[in-house]
Amino acid sequence: MFDNLTEKLQNTFKRMRNKGRLTEDDVREGLRDVRMALLEADVNFKVVKDFLSRVEQEAIGQDILESLTPAQGVVRIVRDQLTELMGNHVERIKMASNPPTVIYLVGLQGSGKTTSTAKLAKMLKQQGRQPLMVATDIYRPAAVDQLQALGQQIGVPVIYEDGLSPVQLVREGWQRSRQMAKDVILVDTAGRLHIDNALMDELVQMQKEVPAHETLLVVDAMTGQDAVRVAKAFKETLPVTGVILTKLDGDARGGAALSIRAVTDLPIKLIATGEKVDALEAFQPDRMASRILGMGDVLTLIEKAEQSLDKDEIETHAKRIGTKDFNFEDFQAMLKQVKKLGPLSKVMELLPGMGPLNLNKLKDQVDDKGLDRVEAIINSMTILERRKPDIIDGSRRLRIAKGSGTSVQEVNRLVKQFYEMRKVMKQMKGSGHKRKFPKLPF
Ligand code: GDP
């Protein structure tokens, strides 16, 4: 996410830190680099200008330059101002006090509306709601099929009938929600390649028929300033209440995320970070600011862990860490939990200090394919071998290698690393000292 921007900002602040004490001119010079970095990330020109004048005012006006670590003070101000720029706090989806809540997803074609509709339905379902989706993109049959397939995947009904107009379809959706006792209606609407009057008119008619509680504009973060223009145009005609920013997993530069709120006054409510149905998160400006500055986002990582990991399972196996009983069965169980957190590269992005430079270096060493191979090797062991790794002799290694589609060398390496790891963990537990951790086998 925003790799280029993060890298440039990190370099700027590193230069500042290396200087130790800072003069006003040093700060101004640093902020000029920040300005370039933001403009290159396609942040709106006026937004950058206002942002920097606020940062400068605070950085120079305060006692920061007198402090022992002035560069850190500047980073803190930049982080706070970035947070403010993106809206300061989390903006939730508003639920009607009298259900059903009606949520329209609008936007240009390809922005990610259909996918986001299903993602949001899944998120709401997990929160205990009873959503229903309505397919109204009658101009693109593939969109209807796509929503129906996603609906099936997440177990949420999709309302659609051949021959009905979008206006008739939302009415149908509303009636069916009453019959089926559903409390949220998510309307996936048609998009066009460009904003046109017919599209807007149709959306206005639909909302006359079934008024919206939320009208969420879906915009593609990769389109930078265009996303901001689209948001402005939609807001002129429709009662847009918030933005879903999609494709943040791609090489979006940051312009949309950092400008939309300031230019249009629309809050970003949700962000999408992948094609899968669970890749949707509430937008948290403070965490995003930390991520942009390469400070990681440990809170999100912890939340992810809490949601996806099985605590009892971890405790059972973790107890044996550092004892001679720790075996491949424990290892396999822990590996499974690690994989639940998602691709390793994404998990690593959330760690502090993982700027794009470090991340790229590490990605060469740690990859999910390696993890899959380790898992395949352990899966090919018999239960006895997993429990008593000592019996894994030469002929067993050959069998395991064949069974897992790997090589004897890889099996040897894993077994060796397993023993090394067990030894070090035992020493760590015994001495209470931190020692260098051995290289992990994936
Ligand atoms: P619509 O035309 O607005 O309904 O857009 P779709 O929901 O069909 O999405 C267009 C394409 O973008 C599809 O290939 C989606 O899988 C992809 N897409 C949507 N959201 C994301 C996202 O957050 N990340 C990535 N990488 N792809 C996405």
Position 73 pLDDT exceeds 70: yes
Out of 293, 311, 336, a domain closes at 293
Q: Whose CA is nearest to atom 6 of ligand 1?
A: 112
Task: Tell whether 310 and 289 lie within a shared domain.
Answer: no
Q: Are residues 256 and 401 in the same domain?
A: no
User: Does residue 118 form part of some domain?
Assistant: yes
Ligand 1 pocket at CB < 6 A: 107, 109-115, 143, 146, 191, 246-247, 249-250, 272-275, 279
Residue 90 lies in a domain: no
**CATH number of the domain bearing residue 336:** 1.10.260.30
- Residue whose CA is at the smallest distance from ligand 1 atom 9: 112
The answer to whether the annotation marks 163 as part of a ligand binding site is no
Q: What is the pLDDT of residue 362?
A: 60
Higher pLDDT, 288 or 439: 288
Task: Give the closest residue to 405 by CA, choosing from 365, 442, 441, 369.
Answer: 369
3-state secondary structure of 340: helix
Protein residue whose Cα sits closest to atom 27 of ligand 1 = 275
CATH number for the domain that contains residue 247: 3.40.50.300
Instruction: Please say whether the beta carbons of 289 and 82 come within 8 A.
Output: yes
Same domain for 329 and 385? yes
Per-residue confidence (pLDDT) for residue 62, from 0 to 100: 64
Q: How many angstroms separate the alpha carbon of residue 146 from the centre of ligand 1?
A: 11
* Ligand 1 atom with minimal separation from the 108 CA: 3
Q: Among 248, 267, 293, identify where a domain stops.
A: 293
Q: Does residue 106 lie within any of the structural domains?
A: yes
Tens digits of per-residue pLDDT, 293-319? 877 655 666 666 666 777 777 777 777
Nearest CA to ligand 1 atom 13: 112
Q: Residues of 269-305 as b/e, b for ≥16 C-beta within 10 angstroms? A: bbbbbbeebebbbebbbbbbbbbbbbbbbeebbeebb
Split at pLDDT 50, 70, 90, the class of 438 is very low
Range of the domain at 51: 3-85
* The ligand 1 atom nearest the CA atom of 279: 23
**pLDDT at 428 (0 to 100):** 65
Write out the two tokens for 172.
Answer: 């149908």
**pLDDT class of 239 with cuts at 50, 70, 90:** very high
Nearest in space to 222 (alpha carbons), one of 48, 39, 41: 41
Task: State how far the Cα of 82 lies from the Cα of 175, in Å rounded to an integer.
Answer: 44
Rounded-to-integer distance, Cα 279 and Cα 119, Å: 7
Average pLDDT rounded to a whole number, residues 412-441: 67
Residues 204 and 253 in one domain: yes
Q: Which range (61-70, 345-354, 371-380, 416-425) has the least confidence?
A: 345-354
pLDDT digits (tens, 9 = 90+) for 352-407: 555 555 656 666 656 667 778 888 999 999 999 999 999 999 999 999 999 999 99
Measured between alpha carbons, how far is 28 from 336 in angstroms, rounded to an integer? 49
Domain count of the fold of the chain: 3
Do residues 274 and 318 share a domain?
A: no
pLDDT given for residue 26 in this prediction: 86
Mean pLDDT of 319-346: 78
User: How far is Cα 206 from Cα 229, in angstroms, rounded to an integer?
Assistant: 23
Q: Is 274 in the same domain as 417? A: no
pLDDT tens digit sequence for 81-137: 999 999 988 999 999 999 999 999 999 999 999 999 999 999 999 999 999 999 999
370 marked as part of a ligand binding site: no
Q: Please state the atom number of ligand 1 nearest to the C-alpha of residue 110.
A: 2
The rounded Å distance from CA 255 to ligand 1 centre is: 19
Question: Tell me, what DSSP letter sits at residue 341?
Answer: T
Question: Is residue 123 located within the same domain as residue 263?
Answer: yes
Residue 150 and residue 227 in one domain: yes
Q: Nearest Cα to 47, choosing from 39, 37, 36?
A: 39
Atom of ligand 1 nearest to the CA of 250: 26
Decide if 278 is inside a domain.
yes
Summarize pLDDT for 95-111 with one digit per residue, the tens: 999 999 999 999 999 99
Which two tokens mark 333? 């169980």
Residues 247 and 312 in one domain: no
Mean of all residue pLDDT scores within the chain: 85
Q: CB neighbours of 87 closer than 8 A, spacing ≥ 6?
A: 261, 267, 268, 283, 285
Report pLDDT for 302.
66
**177-191 average pLDDT score:** 94
Q: In this structure, what CATH number is given to the domain that contains residue 70? A: 1.20.120.140
- No. of H helices and E strands in the chain? 20, 8
The alpha carbon of 418 and the centre of ligand 1 are apart by a number of angstroms equal to 41
Length of the chain: 442
How far is C-alpha 363 from the chain's CA centre? 18
- List, for residues 50-63, the tens digit of each pLDDT value: 999 999 888 887 67
Answer whether residue 95 is part of any domain: no
Whether residue 246 sits in one domain with residue 106: yes
Shared-domain flag, residues 140 and 270: yes
Residues 220, 138 share a domain: yes
Q: Is 20 annotated as a binding residue?
A: no
Query: Which atom of ligand 1 is nearest to 273's Cα?
Result: 23
pLDDT at 432 over 80: no
Q: How far is CA 413 from the centre of its chain?
A: 34
How remote is the CA of residue 220 from the centroid of ligand 1, in Å? 9
Ligand 1 center to residue 276 CA distance, Å? 9
What phi and psi, each to the nearest 5 degrees, are found at residue 105? -110, 120
> Last residue of a domain, which of 255, 270, 293?
293
Helix, strand or coil for residue 281? strand
Confidence (pLDDT) at 434: 46
Q: Is residue 438 part of a domain?
A: no
Residues 298 and 26: their CA atoms lie apart, in Å, by 31
Of the listed ranges 149-158, 248-257, 302-311, 324-333, the least confidently predicted one is 302-311
Q: Which of 279, 278, 103, 281 is nearest to 183 (CA)?
A: 103
